[in-house]
Each structure stands twice: as structure tokens, then as C-alpha cells.
Amino acid sequence: KRGFTAAVPFPLAQYGGRFTVTMIPGDGIGPELMGYVRNIFRYAGVPVDFEEIQITKDSTEDVFEKALVCIKRNGVALKGSIESKYGDVNFSSRNATLRTQLDLYANVLHCRSHPAVPCRYPDLDLVLIRENTEGEYSMMEHESVRGVVESLKVITRRCSDRIARYAFEYAKRHGRSKVTAIHKANIMKISDGLFLETCRNVAKEYPEIEFGDMIVDNTCMQLVSRPHQFDVMVMPNLYGTVVSNVACGLAGGPGLLSGQNYGEHFAVFEPGTRNTGTSVAGLNVANPVAMLNAACDMLNHLGLTQHATLISDAINKTINEDLVHTADIGGENTSLDVVQNIIKEVQQAMKDGEW
């Protein structure tokens, strides 16, 4: 299909059967979560070497450029969130800039509930596909006269077309039956109107997949009251961050779900809600699962599906059978308790020859 690529066509960095992946720990809980990933990968014998480049809110442009080059070289990155400097008008969000510089146009968040995690609705299984490079995140704002600020929201047919196509192709590949476009075209008639019209046009090419649309405010209400009506959802950038957080909240909070960012050439994996978790950093209380799930998505992307399954099965057993839960999902265990239990499950599965 025109304008759609499902996978990274560039060669991935691989030497002697081992992959090299860029690791950006970021601020807050990022560094400790990356330590857990490294530890579990070692026990699971994962053939991945990390090239670590730390970007924090205080890093220089040079370091940021170095990180971009590193991701371009390796093709794949695992990333924590970099704190944004509120109020500093000369400083653009490093997270958003990284996504636009690498043209990671599609953010995919698979929202599933866990049987053993308290959750308003069991059996949640939604996929949110968010345009990741434009909209309100164009970061073009100015004060035209004192006290009057203009902020440009940019919606283009090209980016709307490729994200709509990504959503329909995703639905087709994963046997999903419905795509819902989320918008505010009743108020933003031209910008969101273009997004909606483009989605409608792409939908005509996929008659086997049901298409619907919904206004974003109603979407938030429907998500918390009747989430099972949704299957795949596609939306512009800002609505994406809001609706993703509602979905993560429904499924148990910021500590569980992963987020995947794809472009034509590169892929970056990170926790779904993109929080820094600064207030819980260094306390051994952060839930490591979202970052570990991001690491499993990364392994699947690299084609290391056996290792991905080995670790994700261990994560699921830890949560749903062994009931080792951190405080954010109602438990009393520490981050290290969760990690040690996952390692125990990995070792058990390897001993049993389950993989």
C-alpha cells in the first residue's frame, strides 16, 4: 500500500549473531528500570548488546545529536522518558524532537488488562494508534502581542494518510475487525476535518474492516464506561496522549503497558504513558513491568521471538499467578521483588525446557 511500511527495511545492527540496540535511560525511574532490563536479559541469554547514551533534561545538544546518530546506526532503541523543562521557551521537548527527527510517525499502544490486577473492566483488549509527529506537537508557539499566544496545530494530508493506513494495515495483520478515528472535527473543522476525511478515504480501501469515528471528549467518556465497543483506534497526536493515559489508567496505571514507536526506518520502544516517575525514583517502588514489556516488544521487533516469549511469560506469571505486585497496582512488593520473581520464572522455564 502506498505510504505504508510495516517493518524496518534498513538493516539492523547485528554482529556475530548479536544485535546492538541504543539504550536511552532518561530521567526519573528510567536508569533503574534499564538496570532491571539488563539483568533479566542476562539471565535469559538475550543476544542483545546495548549502546547506552544518557540524555537527561540537562544534556547538551551534542549528546542529543550523538543519540540520534546512534539510533540511526542501530535502527532500534529502548528509551525512558526525558524530563521536559517547563517554562523554558528555548527548550523543545527532547522526547518529541527525537520522535520527529527520526520520523517515528506511528505510536502503538496495546491496552490489555491482567486478570490479577484490579481493573474496572476485565478482558480489555484495545489498540491505540497515535500520529506521533505533528498536530499540537509542532512546537510552534509565539506571543503575537503581549498577552496573546498563538500555537500552531499542524495537520497534513500526508501524515493523516500514513497513520490511517498504518491503523488499517495493523487491523488487517492482527485480525481485528474495526477501526475508529478519534477527532474534534465539529470544532476544528479544517484541521481535524482533514484528518477525518483522510481516514474515511483510506477506510474505503478496506471494506472488510468496519470503520467508525468518534469525537474525542465522547471517546474519553465511552472508554471509561463502555470500553469494549472499541477495537483499533486511530487519532492525532494530542488526543493520542490523553486517550492513551485514559486507557493505561483503565488497565492498571502507568506501570504496566508498553508503547511502540515506528517509522519507515527506525523503531523506539518505551513505557506506554511516557512518565519520568521522578517522585518514585530511587525508592525501589516503581513498577518495572511497563519497561520490561517495552523490552519484549523490542525483542519481537528484532525477530528474537523466543526470548520475548520467555520473558513475557515470566512477567505474566509474576503478575497473574505469583501475585508479586508493586504498590501502583495495589501490592506491597518492591521493584526488586518483581524483578527477582521474573528471573526465577525465567530460570524455571529454561530448566523445564519450555522454550
| Residue 135 or 255 having the CB closest to ligand ATP | 255
284 part of the interface to ligand ATP, by CB under 6 A: no
User: Which of these, 25, 111, 39, 37, lies nearest to 299 by C-alpha position?
Assistant: 37
Where do we find the cell 501502583? 328
CB of 38 to ligand ATP, least distance (A): 17
How many Cβ atoms sit within 10 Å of the Cβ of residue 86? 6
Rounded to whole angstroms, how far apart are CA atoms 217 and 335?
Answer: 35
250 part of the interface to ligand ATP, by CB under 6 A: no
Site residues for ligand ATP, 10-39, by CB under 6 A, read: 28-29
With beta carbons less than 8 A apart as the criterion, state whether 333 and 130 touch. Answer: no
Number of residues that bind ligand ATP (CB under 6 A): 17
| Residue 49 or 83 having the CB closest to ligand ATP | 83
| Residue 84 or 138 having the CB closest to ligand ATP | 84
CB of 289 to ligand ATP, least distance (A): 8
CB of 335 to ligand ATP, least distance (A): 8
* Residues in CB range of 65: below 8 A, 6 or more apart: none
- Contact residue for ligand ATP among 191, 276, 293, 333 (CB under 6 A): 276
328 part of the interface to ligand ATP, by CB under 6 A: yes
For 108, counting Cβ atoms within 10 Å of its Cβ (0-12 exposed, 13-18 middle, 19+ buried), the class is buried
Where do we find the cell 556475530? 16
Which window, 207-215, 230-238, 273-281, 310-318, contacts ligand ATP (CB under 6 A)? 273-281
For residues 67 to 96, the per-residue mask of contacts with ligand ATP, x marking binding by CB under 6 A and - elsewhere, is: --------------x-xx------------
Ramachandran angles phi, psi of 233, nearest 5°: -120, 140
With beta carbons less than 8 A apart as the criterion, state whether 271 and 294 touch. Answer: yes
- Contact residue for ligand ATP among 255, 259, 263, 272 (CB under 6 A): 255
How many Cβ atoms sit within 10 Å of the Cβ of residue 186? 11
53 part of the interface to ligand ATP, by CB under 6 A: no
| Residue 177 or 279 having the CB closest to ligand ATP | 279
Rounded to whole angstroms, how far apart are CA atoms 204 and 1?
Answer: 13
Rounded to whole angstroms, how far apart are CA atoms 321 and 18?
Answer: 33
Strands (E), the chain: 14-15, 18-24, 48-52, 76-79, 106-112, 125-131, 141-145, 148-151, 178-183, 210-215, 232-235, 258-262, 267-271
Ramachandran angles phi, psi of 50, nearest 5°: -100, 140
286 part of the interface to ligand ATP, by CB under 6 A: yes
For 11, counting Cβ atoms within 10 Å of its Cβ (0-12 exposed, 13-18 middle, 19+ buried), the class is exposed
| Residue 193 or 249 having the CB closest to ligand ATP | 249
- Contact residue for ligand ATP among 75, 80, 227, 254 (CB under 6 A): 254
Which window, 63-71, 189-197, 271-279, 310-318, contacts ligand ATP (CB under 6 A)? 271-279
CB of 286 to ligand ATP, least distance (A): 4
| Residue 32 or 161 having the CB closest to ligand ATP | 32
For residues 288 to 307, the per-residue mask of contacts with ligand ATP, x marking binding by CB under 6 A and - elsewhere, is: --x-----------------
Interaction site with ligand ATP (CB under 6 A): 28-29, 81, 83-84, 254-255, 275-280, 286-287, 290, 328
